[in-house]
Amino acid sequence: MACLGLITKARFASRKRKVSHMRDLTAARHKMVQQQLVARGISDRAVLSAMREVPRHLFVDQALLDEAYDDNPLPIGNGQTISQPYMVAIMTELLDLTGKERVLEIGTGSGYQAAVLSRLCQWVFTVERIARLSERARKIIQECGYDNITFLVGDGSRGWPDAAPFDGIIVTAGAPKIPNVLVEQLADGGRLVIPVGDRFSQTLKRVVKIDDRTRVENHTGCRFVDLVGTHGWSDH
């Protein structure tokens, strides 16, 4: 009996530890939104609420769990990274989503950005060139129960012509220039958000397409891994 009591007690203690750990992570996530996003001027309430909701810690390497809500990008394997929370927020905010859009993401990576987008638009199409990352992202997103995302493995620098046009296109890897083929796949009024520059630093650009004309805006400086493909950098 004493022994059973001990086991039950141990189980209870472990469940309690888990619950308090989850509570810590939720607190860390709310703190991230407040200190890294609100404090730096992110004001779209839907974006803030999506980033309060999506469990970023599930998308990072589990060895880096304690750093999941830190103010920086983290490695996700294959030489790639999950973007810094602030960069995810600013790119998402620039897409100006209302909930009805079809959005193309190029560079699925961990799947975190796709998960955030899925809370804010009607459907997300996400392309990743590394099959292992796409598969990993798909599993995590399934666990989260987000069911409005379609995954594709391939060269996203060509866009996704079969699913075009898109109200929003977000490229989460650095490009040498704005690929025309992506602008062509924007719907009227559509927005393309893309880091453009050299391999070491880029400027986050937003292209707005209205009546077949485009307006290009420059936003913040940033540093992304390479967009590798036909309309990106060559694989070296």
Chain positions contacting ligand SAH, by CB under 6 A: 80-83, 106-107, 109-110, 112-113, 127-130, 133, 155-157, 172-173, 225, 227-229, 232
Q: In terms of CB distance, is 56 or 102 closer to ligand SAH?
A: 56
Q: Give the nearest distance from C-beta 10 to ligand SAH in angstroms.
A: 37
Q: In terms of CB distance, is 9 or 33 closer to ligand SAH?
A: 33
Q: In terms of CB distance, is 119 or 215 closer to ligand SAH?
A: 119
Cα separation of 112 and 141, whole Å? Answer: 8
- From the list 105, 131, 108, 109, the residue with the least C-alpha distance to 191 is 105
Helix (H), strand (E) at residue 193: strand 186-197
Q: Give the nearest distance from C-beta 119 to ligand SAH in angstroms.
A: 14
Q: Give the nearest distance from C-beta 25 to ligand SAH in angstroms.
A: 18
Integer angstrom CA distances of residue 120 from 64, 69, 89: 27, 21, 12
Encoded amino acid at 176, one letter: P
Q: Which residues are catalytic?
A: 83
Cα-Cα-Cα-Cα dihedral of 23, 26, 27, 32, to 10°?
160
